[in-house]
Structure formats: C-alpha cells, structure tokens
Amino acid sequence: MENYIKINEANKTKIVCKKEIIENLRTNENLRNYIIHCTNSIFKDKEIFNKQKIIAIKNLVKDIKLVLKSNNIFDYNLNLTLRNLNEYYNQQKNEIKDENGKIKNFIPSSESQFIIQSLIFLAFSNSYSKIIKSIYVK
C-alpha cells in the first residue's frame, strides 16, 4: 500500500499525500519519516523516470505543506525541505557536457536516493545541520 496517490496517469509526477495519514502526524520526526518512506517508495516506482523522481518528491512535499497549512509547527521544516530539494533539482538541471564530452555537475543515479534522503534529514535535524556546517564552513 502506497502512502501517496498519483492524481494524473499521464503525468506520473503529480503525487499527493494521503490526507488521513498526514493529519495524524504529530511530530517533526513522524513527518520526516513519512516523507523519507514516500521517497523510498517513489524510487522503487518504475513508472517514474530517474530524472523525474525529484519532481514527484517536490510535488508530494508541496501537497503536505498545503494539508498542514493550519499547523505552523511544520512550516519551517517543510520550507527547508523544499529549499533543499529545489537546490538538488537545480544541480540536476545544470548537468551539461563540455567540449570534451565530459558531463559537469553530474549526479549519479545510484547516489540520488541517498542524497535526497540526506537533504530531507538535514531539514529536520538541527544537530545534523550543525555537523555539516562545521565540516564545510570554516
């Protein structure tokens, strides 16, 4: 059983959450786990092409944000999640071949699921965020 619904058979990335599940989430941890679980399901879905998976995940998070718009405690984390996913998508769109045929800004499809999960986790974990900042910001 999927935790999300495809609302358009022609466009497989049009994904919405199951509202009854979202309305019962009480903590940021539960919300994070739900999003990561759905991300895993989207990556297993063979109908969605690899380059489209990020769009499907973004659509899902946007729908979750709409469902939870009356509950402000999730806004910050959902906004961070969308920002992180948008940055991933921008990097993915910037994949270009140089004059030698080498691809720049290439994200291997074998790593994309882990990277996206990490970006979601980063939006929900203050300690993870601090560790990443301490490593890369000096």
CB 90 within 8 Å of CB 98 = no
- Tens digits of residue pLDDT in 30-52: 999 999 999 999 999 998 999 89
What mean pLDDT do residues 66-92 have? 93
How many whole angstroms separate alpha carbon 135 and alpha carbon 112? 21
Q: Strand pairing of 103-104 and 4-6?
A: unpaired
Share of the chain above pLDDT 70, in %: 99
- The domain ranges of the chain are 4-136
Burial environment of residue 85 by CB neighbours within 10 A (0 to 12, 13 to 18, 19 or more):
buried
